Every structure is written in structure tokens, then in C-alpha cells.
Amino acid sequence: MASVIEIKNLTKKYGDLLAVDHVNYTIEEGEIFGLLGHNGAGKTTTILMLLGLIPPTEGTAIVNGVDVIKEPLQSRRHVGLLPENAGFYENLTARQNLLFYAELADVPDKEASERVEKLIDQVGLDDKRGVKVSAYSRGMRQRLGIAQSLVRDPKVLILDEPTQGIDPEGTQDIRKLIRTLSKDRGMTIIFTTHVLYEVNKLCDRVAIMKNGAIAGIGTIPELRKQVNADEGEDFEQIFLRYQGVV
Ligand SMILES: Nc1ncnc2c1ncn2[C@@H]1O[C@H](COP(=O)(O)OP(=O)(O)OP(=O)(O)O)[C@@H](O)[C@H]1O
Ligand SMILES: [Mg+2]
């Protein structure tokens, strides 16, 4: 398997605070990779550096063979992002928002309209494509955000807390979508979450961050083994062990 993302000594300091602390790992093509950790652990900061949106203090990341420090714009071309709080034009419909975004992303007009209609179907907003976003629920907005992050047809999709504030049914839909994108389109997907049940269901591999550093990384069975978890311990307990809570 080829590495799509190589994180090398990646570090971010805000004053005296080490938000991301000399981190090293790789993410392979087609993986569903979970980035976990307590509030303030450094997940979003890591993601923003992977996208070249904030500069590392030290180290770097190679995304699709492109160094995010040397060529931040180039490295971002093949990466879609669903941010923690995706924003849209409230007075525009799903279709209009996506077409506008496609234009910004330089998708040729001919391709754009076909791609937008397909994406709307794919994220399950087909009966809402002509409705203004101002009338959307949080779950619908999140699905529109995922569609938006796919407009450029990226190789890597990064989702920052995709199911936060979404009801169980909507959460299940988003999980299905993530699985489909990975299995059918071979996309590499990185997502952060505090819902550990979700991680168990979805992730090929997981990194657990603690105070900016990596406390553990691997498949769930590997993580379980590393802390000598008992047979009956669920992933939540294992996670808390890595956090030093139990
Ligand atoms: N622009 C900034 N200026 C100063 N400190 C920042 C800035 N952005 C983040 N931080 C700090 O860096 C640390 C890591 O924040 P980050 O947002 O990466 O955490 P997170 O793991 O995404 O947390 P959450 O689960 O709450 O989303 C926190 O202590 C945060 O307060
Ligand atoms: Mg965050």
C-alpha cells in the first residue's frame, strides 16, 4: 500500500502551548483513519496543517507526494475538508451552493452541473436540492457539507467531527456514506470524533492524541493489546486508558 499522508515531526506551538507535539505517522491509501483525543488534544490543529491552512512550527507533512510547507496550494488540491462548522449561503439552495463552490474550485461548467446533481443524490439530499439552506436541519447541512467537500473529486477526505449534533439515524447515514466513499471510490478518509462507538464500526486504524502527542496508534485490536485490555473492556475503556484516566 502507498502512503497518501506522511506526517514528519509535525509540530505547532501557540506561544508556550504545544498544540501538536513532534508527531510522526503515515496514512495509507484507501484507509478510514480515526483521529481521537480529548478536547484541545490537537486534532483540528493537525488537520489544518495537513491542509496547509496553518503553517507548522516544526516538521512537515507530505500529502499525495506534495510537501504542505513548500507547496501548500498544490497539496490542498486533492484534499476535501468538512470543517468543524461548515458555512453556506443561506439564501441559496443546495444545488446553487454546490455550483458556486464548483466554480470557485475551477471545475469546468459542463462537468460541474452533472457532478453536483450526483453528489446531491449521493448524500441523500435529492428531495431537498431546490430548497434554500436556511430551511435545512443540522443533519442536512452536514450532508451538504460532505457534498461540498467532494466537489473537487478529492483523493483524500478529511471530516472534522462529521456526526456532532446529528441524530442516530443521520449519524448512521453519514457512516454509510463514509464507508461507501472508501470502499467504492477508494478514497482515503480521515475523521475526528468523540463518538467511540463510531470508531469501532468504521475505522481501519486509529490515532489517539493526548496533549498534542500521539498516545497510541494502530488497529483497534493492536491498541487493545498494547494496554493489555481485559477481554470484556470496550473501546471506550481502552481509549480512557490511553488518556491516562483509568
Ligand atoms: N489559533 C489558536 N491560538 C491559540 N491557541 C490555539 C489556537 N487554535 C488552537 N489552539 C489551542 O491548541 C490546542 C489544540 O486545539 P485543537 O483545536 O487542535 O484541539 P482539538 O483536539 O480539535 O479539540 P476539540 O475536540 O475540542 O475540537 C488547544 O489547547 C487550543 O486551545
Ligand atoms: Mg477540534
- Report DSSP letters for 29-79, one per residue: TT-EEEEEESTTSSHHHHHHHHTTSS--SEEEEEETTEETTT-HHHHHTTE
Residues 72/78, Cβ–Cβ less than 8 Å: no
User: What average pLDDT does the segment 104-133 reach?
Assistant: 93
Residue 40 pLDDT > 80, yes or no?
Answer: yes
For the packed helices 138-149 and 109-122, what is the interaxial angle rounded to 10 degrees? 140
**19 Cα–ligand 1 center, Å:** 6
Ligand nearest to the CA of 16: 1
- If pLDDT is split at 50, 70 and 90, which confidence band does 231 have? confident
User: What average pLDDT does the segment 171-186 reach?
Assistant: 91
**12 Cα–ligand 1 center, Å:** 10
Q: Where are the domains of the chain?
A: 79-153
Residue scoring higher pLDDT (168 or 207): 207
**Which of 12, 44, 53 has most ligand 1 atoms within 8 Å of its beta carbon, as the pocket-test mutant?**
44
- If pLDDT is split at 50, 70 and 90, which confidence band does 63 have? very high
For the packed helices 138-149 and 94-104, what is the interaxial angle rounded to 10 degrees? 30
pLDDT digits (tens, 9 = 90+) for 87-114: 899 999 999 999 999 999 899 998 999 9
Between CA 85 and CA 14 the distance in angstroms is: 22
pLDDT-above-70 percentage for the chain: 100
**197 Cα–ligand 2 center, Å:** 18
pTM of the model: 0.93
pLDDT digits (tens, 9 = 90+) for 189-221: 999 999 898 898 899 999 999 999 999 999 999
Ligand nearest to the CA of 38: 1
Predicted pLDDT at 232? 87
- Atom 11 of ligand 1, nearest CA residue: 19
Residues 58/22, Cβ–Cβ less than 8 Å: yes
User: What average pLDDT does the segment 126-150 reach?
Assistant: 93
Maximum mean pLDDT: which of 17-31, 150-164, 173-187, 190-204: 17-31
**44 Cα–ligand 2 center, Å:** 4
User: What average pLDDT does the segment 14-20 reach?
Assistant: 97
**155 Cα–ligand 2 center, Å:** 22
pLDDT-above-90 percentage for the chain: 78
Pocket of ligand 1 from Cβ distances under 6 Å: 14, 17, 19, 37, 39-45
Predicted pLDDT at 158? 97
Average pLDDT, rounded, for the chain: 93
Burial (CB count within 10 angstroms: exposed 0-12, middle 13-18, buried 19+), residue 202: buried
Of residues 193, 80, 198, 180, the one with CA closest to residue 124:
180
Of residues 85, 110, 84, 88, the one with CA closest to residue 100:
88
Ligand nearest to the CA of 53: 1
Between CA 45 and CA 35 the distance in angstroms is: 12
Predicted pLDDT at 1? 64
